[in-house]
Amino acid sequence: QQQVKQSPQSLIVQKGGIPIINCAYENTAFDYFPWYQQFPGKGPALLIAIRPDVSEKKEGRFTISFNKSAKQFSLHIMDSQPGDSATYFCAARPGQFSGNTGKLIFGQGTTLQVKP
Amino acid sequence: NAGVTQTPKFQVLKTGQSMTLQCAQDMNHEYMSWYRQDPGMGLRLIHYSVGAGITDQGEVPNGYNVSRSTTEDFPLRLLSAAPSQTSVYFCASSYLTSGGQEQFFGPGTRLTVL
């Protein structure tokens, strides 16, 4: 299955809160899981990424948690700020050696609003 | 570097018209892709290319054609526009890294088909 399911569709938190966005996949051949951030009127930009042999990755206030057995991964934003208000997409790449190199499958997106 | 550029930024078409969305990158990336973004549907892959002269279909290829004659350019053609093709279109280019892949998106083209 070449699908990535993302939830929730939208999320509202207060400044300082910790929004969590979840993604699930079926294809165990996926080998790379990035998260993208998109501001209104702009193209998505890479935020943070993880490989399936790692359970957690932190970059600044952003953390990916990865559960290989459950085929789920999530994005946590620590101490969220109004400037984090954006749409977030998870994605997954079919395995590099399956002939799909360079192709990313995206989730449905989550619109995050951080209230001051 | 200009990165990934797309033209036009906005376009209105009538049903049945044809047009080409332009995409260019100056980073010498092998891989390029076209996505469409619709509310609640995320980014859906239309076509992608792993190098000059090589293209393949993504999740939603019907109604769209692509070609890749050079590394830099990857135009998307709508042969006979339909209202269902009203969307925001993003072109992206990428390269492989030791950890995975880095993909860069263009600013998008907002297309309305009447």
| Residues B43 and B26 sit within 8 Å (Cβ to Cβ) | no
Is the minimum CB–CB distance between A87 and chain B shorter than 8 Å? no
Residue labelled with tokens 């080409």: B20
Is the minimum CB–CB distance between A10 and chain B shorter than 8 Å? no
Q: For residue B14, what are its two tokens?
A: 């009538």
Is the minimum CB–CB distance between A32 and chain B shorter than 8 Å? yes
Q: How far is B100 from chain A (nearest CA, A)?
A: 6
Residues B66-107 pLDDT 10s: 999 999 999 999 999 999 999 999 999 999 888 788 899 999
Per-residue confidence (pLDDT) for residue A96, from 0 to 100: 62
| Residues B55 and B70 sit within 8 Å (Cβ to Cβ) | no
Q: How far is A30 from chain B (nearest CA, A)?
A: 11
Is the minimum CB–CB distance between A116 and chain B shorter than 8 Å? no
DSSP designation for A54: -
Q: Which of A25, A106, A110, A111 to mutate to test the interface with B (most CBs of B within 10 A)?
A: A106
Is the minimum CB–CB distance between A55 and chain B shorter than 8 Å? no
Is the minimum CB–CB distance between B41 and chain A shorter than 8 Å? yes
Query: Which chain B positions have a beta carbon within 8 Å of A91's beta carbon?
Result: 43
Per-residue confidence (pLDDT) for residue B35, from 0 to 100: 97
How far is A77 from B23, CA to CA, in rounded Å? 33
Peptide bond into B8 cis (omega under 30): yes
End-to-end CA distance of chain A: 40
CB atoms within 10 A of CB B9: 10
Residues A42-100 pLDDT 10s: 999 999 999 999 999 999 999 999 999 999 999 999 999 999 999 999 999 987 665 65
Q: How far is A78 from chain B (nearest CA, A)?
A: 24
| Residues A59 and A50 sit within 8 Å (Cβ to Cβ) | no
Is the minimum CB–CB distance between B50 and chain A shorter than 8 Å? yes
How far is A89 from A103, CA to CA, in rounded Å? 15
Per-residue confidence (pLDDT) for residue B101, from 0 to 100: 87
pLDDT class for A28, splitting at 50, 70, 90?
confident
Give the β-pairing of B109-113 and B10-13: parallel
CB atoms within 10 A of CB A115: 11
Q: Do B101 and A102 touch (CB under 8 A)?
A: yes
Q: Exposed, middle or buried, A25 (CB in 10 Å: 0-12/13-18/19+)?
A: buried
What residues 52-81 of chain B have any CB closer than 8 A to a CB of chain A?
A: 58-59
Q: For residue B29, what are its two tokens?
A: 């990336």
Per-residue confidence (pLDDT) for residue B99, from 0 to 100: 79
Provide the residue type at B15 as one letter. Answer: T
Residue labelled with tokens 């943070």: A48
Backbone angles phi, psi at A98, to 5 degrees: -100, 10
Mean pLDDT score of chain B: 95
